[in-house]
Chain A
Amino acid sequence: MTIDWRELVRASLPALALTALLVAIFWLQPRAMSYQGLNLLLNLSIPIVFATLAQMFVLTVGDLDLGIGGFVTFVACVTVTWLADAPLIGVLILVAAIAGYAAVGALIELRNLPAIVVTLGMSFVWFGLAVIVLPSPGGRTPEWLIAAVRLRPPGIPLAILAAIVIGLLGHLLLMRTSMGVVLRGAGGNPRAITRAGWSMLRIRMTLYALAGLMGVLAGLTLAGITTSADANLALRYTLLSIAGAILGGSQFTGGRVSPIGAVLGALVMTLAASFLAFLRLNPDWQIGVQGAILILVLALRALLDRVAGER
């Protein structure tokens, strides 16, 4: 078996991009090269990592989730209201929300609907529910949650530790178990999976439930970091999670995903904004350049995919 160097470059793109960004940031801002520095630089990445994994689970069956930003916002709003005031009801709402996600998966499968339209519709539902739960900015995250995201494990900042653990768990689940093979196969070749006796309905519901679980974790950690919420809190996560997952090696066509790549992609998306801030660009330019970097990275990804495909 020969080593396919193009495949290797493709797989290591997120790691290379992350390394390049870190080196550039440390060079621009040596203060970042410390425990406290890395903590400040990366602590907002934890919810983005969860949201990106949620997106990746949906991408696994070849769907696209345009509702994840609204969902994370909704969860954050529940966290600062119900979960703080009546924990039992709060937990029930969050469990129901995950079930709701699975139901969306079932609806898409049963009615054969385009996921992009259904999830776009759901994004307005989640946003509407968030406004009902928290009509004006405020609320207070439960203290235990604030304490949890402010943990200072010795030697390694929480965000990095979390990224490693989440990445490895995702990798084990999706790449190293027989269930993972079936889930991925459902995106790659649904007909073969159905012929082998697996239920596409159950597979889609499982993946959407996993996405819902990741979305809940993203909302909880985000509310822990911000200590309160508003109904526009995480709408940007939809774009960030798609960009992070694609940068990390997932494909829109489904079947081909990489949990570790997605985690690295999420970190790159988090750091790209910091990098621009450290560059001291004129505010008028910062806005444009951030979008340009996003397009550049995704174009590079597409180019590598095309090169790898021309074997």
Chain B
Amino acid sequence: MMTSKTLLAALGAVLFSTTAMAEIATGDTSGMRIALSNNFAGNSWRQAMLKSWDEVSSQAVADGIVAEAPAFTTAENQATEQAAQIQNLILQGFDAIVLNAASPTALNGAVKEACDAGVVVVSFDGIVTEPCAWRIVIDFAGMGSAQLDYLAEKMPDGGNVLEIRGLAGVFVDDEIHSGIVEGVETHPQFEIVGSVHGDWTQTVAQREVSGILPTLPEVDAVVTQGGDGYGAAQAFRAAGRDIPLIIMGNRHDELTWWQEQRDATGYETMSLSIAPASAQVGFWVAQQILAGREVPHDLLLPTLVIHQDELDYWLGQTEEGGVTNAFYTLEWTDQMIEAVAAGESVPPTPTAE
């Protein structure tokens, strides 16, 4: 038993060395420990993220892939506190730290110390700029431009668009907005006739859209950032207006509303957001680096896009009050690493058959 396992590992090492990056690294990581350093747990997305981490880590521990993989969350969303947390994780002898960072730059000192101590640092979602760390980057700008691409397909003649933005001053809001601006440049038949900040919250979005609606001409479509589509629909209904094509953001209330409208009137739209299970990709990337694989330092994660025909499946993957989630496997992570290394586009979010 033991020898066959060692043999297999040796065989894997040979395979790995000959075929370079094309294989899943099979180096022995069974004695190694991976920690999740998380800066914030106060919303449903982060709660789902922690749950996803727990799923992948407990399974990996049961399968003997790693010795342990606990999660640590700081009490307050502060860089100084997370820097101390990272130093504690170095002290505890973890082999890798998967990091959702409070600041892209203020943790660099602690991250460098971790690298110097031989600890692998993989950041995702909230990434860090320190070059020695790995980054799993989410394509937020792509999330914006994809919405206009969809609209151009649905309404080739164009029309008036209302934009609902996120929380002002936050990096994610700027990125998605720049993608939407870029999309309007690509498809000039669309015109942004109004813009409000919905703060990724249905109630705020409803209030803000209700406020701006009386000043607007007919609206053909609403582009969003997630957590605001249902509120926008409510605002249009309350104003007695026709409900336009509203892009949704994978929240449970949004998908449920879309399903009701589809069944009642054949309403068509799309929905997209980031799957909280991106933490699982962080886990597998760290595991692969520990197993000896050469992994590019800048990786990409696709957005989770729901099309009309997949609505029922994905709604089933969404907890009440939560965000649609996925399950990322080692095999999927492997494909993504290969695609990035080869400069190709990354594979779509995996579905369970």
Contact = CB atoms under 8 A, between A and B. Distances in A.
A273 B72 contact: no
Interface string B104-115: 111111101100
A280 B109 contact: no
Contacts of A227: 108-109, 112
Nearest to A228: B105
Interface stretch (A40-48, A98-106, A169-177): A40-48
A236 interface: yes
B64 interface: no
Interface stretch (B16-24, B73-81, B175-183, B294-302): B73-81
A37 B91 contact: yes
A232 B82 CA distance: 13
Interface in B54-101: 70-76, 78-81, 83-85, 87-93
B76 to A, nearest CB: 6
Interface in A47-63: none
B87 A41 contact: yes
Contacts of A136: 171
Contacts of A138: 104-105, 129
Interface string A243-277: 00000000000000000000000000010011001
Size bin of chain B's contact surface: 35 or more
A189 interface: no
A283 interface: yes
B109 A286 contact: no
Contacts of B103: 137, 230, 232-233
Given A40-B113, A41-B87, A226 B107 contact: yes
Contacts, number: 106
A40 B114 CA distance: 10
Given A226-B107, A278-B88, A273 B79 contact: no
B97 to A, nearest CB: 12
B72 A225 contact: no
A236 B41 contact: no
A229 B105 contact: yes
B300 to A, nearest CB: 21
Given A228-B108, A230-B79, A274 B88 contact: yes
Contacts of A226: 79-80, 83, 105-110
B232 interface: no
A76 to B, nearest CB: 9
B38 interface: yes
A286 B90 CA distance: 19
B84 A283 contact: no
B50 interface: yes
A274 to B, nearest CB: 5
Contact of A222 (B80, B102, B129): B80
Contacts of B87: 40-41, 43-44
Contact of B84 (A137, A228, A234, A270): A270
A235 interface: yes
Nearest to B37: A277
Given A230-B79, A232-B102, A290-B75, 4 more contacts: A43-B87, A232-B103, A273-B81, A287-B75
Interface of A: 29, 31-32, 37, 40-41, 43-44, 136-139, 146, 222, 225-230, 232-237, 270, 273-274, 277-278, 280, 283-284, 286-287, 290-291
5 contacts: A41-B87, A138-B105, A225-B83, A229-B105, A233-B79
Interface of B: 38, 41, 50, 70-76, 78-81, 83-85, 87-93, 102-110, 112-113, 129, 171
